Amino acid sequence: GAGVSQSPSNKVTEKGKDVELRCDPISGHTALYWYRQSLGQGLEFLIYFQGNSAPDKSGLPSDRFSAERTGGSVSTLTIQRTQQEDSAVYLCASSLGIRDSSDEQYFGPGTRLTVT
């Protein structure tokens, strides 16, 4: 079956503009995660959705960042008034969500965001 997909694969935007990044998780996966990876760095957790529970937003770096997950499937990460420091690869992952963090996470190819 299809894996996790993300769009767009690359996004170049001007400072101050808003951007929306999309993630389509694997069908049937109830858990969805967003991470950010700056050049040559590790993954920084942003937000986590599990079923119908309230999302864990503890990793969002500022109130310019928000995310939603509609119908328990597709998720959109929105960055408002983008800044140059927002430039990074944004990775989405999904997992079965049956157990706790023992679940293997399946990653999408990422969206490379460049803010000029």
Partner 1 sequence: SQQGEEDPQALSIQEGENATMNCSYKTSINNLQWYRQNSGRGLVHLILIRSNEREKHSGRLRVTLDTSKKSSSLLITASRAADTASYFCATGQFGNEKLTFGTGTRLTIIP
Binding-residue pattern over the window 49 to 88 for partner 1, x denoting contact by CB under 8 A: -x-----x--------------------------------
Dihedral over alpha carbons 7, 29, 50, 94 (to 10 degrees): -50
Query: Minimum distance from CB of 110 to partner 1 (Å)?
Result: 5
Identity at 77, one-letter amino acid code: L
**Is residue 23 part of the contact set for partner 1 (CB under 8 A)?**
no
Q: Are 96 and 28 in contact (CB under 8 A)?
A: yes
Between the two ends of the chain, the Cα-to-Cα distance in Å is 37
Cβ closer to partner 1: 14 or 104? 104
Q: Which of 54, 46, 45, 30 is nearest to 103 (CA)?
A: 30
- Number of residues forming the site for partner 1 (CB under 8 A): 28
Q: Which is nearer to partner 1, 82 or 95 (CB)?
A: 95
**25: contact with partner 1 by CB under 8 A:** no
Exactly one of 16, 28, 45, 81 binds partner 1 (CB under 8 A); that residue is 45
CB 68 within 8 A of CB 21: no
Query: In this structure, what DSSP letter does residue 70 have?
Result: G
- Summarize as ranges the residues that interact with partner 1 (CB under 8 A): 4, 31, 33, 35, 37, 39, 41-43, 45, 48, 50, 56, 89, 91, 93, 97, 100-110
